[in-house]
Structure 1
């Protein structure tokens, strides 16, 4: 199983002061960067094949990797047009997406409990989505809608009249089987070739789901704390609300 961590973006919505900007995966909570937390939990879950997609200030992330001293090799892929959408970043790691085995596609800017990752990696050879039914309605969350257990929508804005029986927020992590990852890479390449490289990669995941050519199961992680960090208030919520209720990190990679 291979983990691909998307950490290329500028993080403009975080509103860091000009001249003091840095990749969001280097945000520290209780003295530990998001990147180090990712690696520690992947190590504890038995995932030691990691590809890191970088773009903005990659040298800072590479320096953090050296400081962490994770005992496994981390492959680096660079997206020089990191100012565009995450579809292009995923396209940058297409070789890792299609080189065999299950793939975990993970946003780097998420502070999460180990129960989130445990739900993602459980069982063998499956396509999996994560859903949190306890979410704040609004324009920002990416909604995952199910009907009879089948995904019928994955978007921030839902179409009027959409039929579903379950709705929640999609955690920014996806698990793809080998053949599904290859098809996903083809869809992403189509976005880039047709001039839609500025799109979020969730749109390509949505296309994959709605093709119905690959079966996905959905793990319900409602109650397990997590937060995607996009805005300044998210940093405060992560510190005040999420961090205190996370299960202690185990198997620290030093």
Structure 2
């Protein structure tokens, strides 16, 4: 959806900006799209109106831009509805009666938003980041990604899938990297992080950018969690939500291989909005909770997430970013902190336990001891 601050942007100037940021020549882009360079030049200079939806789709993929935002810009440029919407209405004329009902009943923006949220909740999806080496698990991950570790006859990844499906999340994607061929369950969408040895969680997520839309949960692959965690996460209507455990300190008692100083902690305000997130110095500041490695985005939140990622990537590639030595090595929490720093609200979904991180050999052994009691009840 076009926001008021975006209404001065044109479709042509926006795609030109994206093209230049990615270092793609006009002729090169036109060739890949399958149009004449002169036609693309006219679009960028606003001599022609925005193209049809099939061309917009190609531009979106090539310039790594959110297709909904591009369609909205195209519609605004033409002073009409977005091309993808007009195409959909033409092919589904019954939708007109629904729009007419909204008009007749004079639904408010809040009521329309509520309808949209209900629809999105019923079609929620998940993206699991499983590309990392898992080197801290030593011999256990010499030949396996850590999400393939066994827990009671099922792998850690299978345990995650069971919980998601129990909560009605059936559209699930996985980002693979290390020992990718070991992760091969049916019914999942797979994306490959081809540079997993040189990047980190944040950049890994964007190998699956095409599915980051709608109502989506993005989670680490090395966490065991109970259904209540996913249920509470799905209930959040905020654009960007992170899951925070406020009963976190006890988990670090006696935890030697992953000390409390390495926790991804969160400080939040009275509105449950993030103020600080990451490896915060626990000795100097009051920490309210621990980020468990799960984030939820609405469709608008996904647009914000993607637009700022590409903006920051252009600025900080090969340069220090937040607590990371380079943007490539940034954690998800570095990115969240940057969003907070520029004034974007990030909501905390508060939980009290109900999850475990499997990061080290020590974590794995402890989790196995208590597994039957906590995660394998019949």
Instruction: Judge same fold: TM > 0.5, yes or no.
Output: yes
Q: CA deviation at 1:27?
A: 0.8
Contact 1:53 1:93 survives alignment (8 Å)? yes
- Equivalent residue, structure 2, for 1:167: 288
Q: Which runs of 4+ in 1 moved over 6 A?
A: none
Alignment correspondent of 2:306: 185
Q: Counterpart in 2 of 1:45?
A: 167
**Structure 2 residue 202 is the aligned partner of structure 1 residue 79:** no
Tell me how far apart the structure 1 counterparts of residues 140 and 214 of structure 2 sit (CA, whole Å).
41
- Corresponding residue of 2:354: 225
Q: Are 1:225 and 1:242, in contact at CA under 8 Å, matched by a contact in 2? A: no
Tell whether the 8 Å contact from 2:215 to 2:296 is kept in structure 1 after alignment.
yes
1 or 2, which has the higher strand percentage?
1
Cα distance change, pair 243–133 in 1 and its aligned pair in 2 (3 A): farther
Change over 3 Å in CA distance of 1:17–1:239 after alignment to 2: closer
Q: 1:96-134 CA deviation, whole Å, 9 max, x = no partner? A: 11xx31110110110121211111112556532222122
Residue deviations 1:128-149, cap 9 Å, x none? 2222122236212100111212
For 2:139 and 2:306, locate their aligned partners in 1 and report how far apart those are by CA, in whole Å.
32
What corresponds to 2:205 in structure 1?
A: 90
Between the aligned partners of 2:291 and 2:355, the Cα distance in structure 1 is 11
Structure 1 regions of 5+ residues with no counterpart?
67-72, 250-254
User: Shift of residue 208 of structure 1?
Assistant: 2.2
Specify which structure has the bigger relative contact order, considering alpha-carbon pairs within 8 angstroms and separated by 6 or more residues: 1
Secondary structure class of the residue paired with 1:81: coil
CA shift in 2, pair 1:191/1:233, >3 Å: farther
d(CA) in 2 for partners of 1:159 and 1:221? 20
CA distance in 2 between counterparts of 1:130 and 1:85 reads 20
Query: Across the two proteins, how many residue pairs are aligned to each other?
Result: 234
Query: Per-residue deviation at 1:44?
Result: 1.2
1:21 match: 143
Instruction: Give distance in 1, aligned partners of 2:217 and 2:195.
Output: 23
Question: Is the Cα contact below 8 Å between 2:174 and 2:191 reproduced in 1?
Answer: yes
Give the root-mean-square deviation of aligned CA atoms.
Answer: 2.4
Of 355, 365, 368, 1:236 maps to 365
Q: Tell me the alpha carbon deviations over residues 215-249 of structure 1, each in whole angstroms, 9 at most, x when there is no partner.
A: 44322211x33111111000012112355223747
The yes-or-no answer on 1:203 pairing with 2:334 is yes
Match of 2:222 among 97, 105, 109: 109
Tell me the SS of whatever aligns to 2:262: coil
Query: What are the Cα deviations for residues 176-227 of structure 1, in whole angstroms up to 9, with x where unaligned?
Result: 11121122123333454422112112211222233333x44322211x3311
Deviation of the 1:5 alpha carbon:
0.4
Secondary structure at 1:94 match in 2 = helix
Structure 2 residue aligned with 1:11, among 134, 138, 161?
134
TM-score (normalised: structure 1): 0.83
Question: Taking structure 1 as reference, are residues 221 and 17 closer, same or farther at Cα in structure 2, changes over 3 Å only?
Answer: closer
Higher helix proportion, which one? Answer: 2
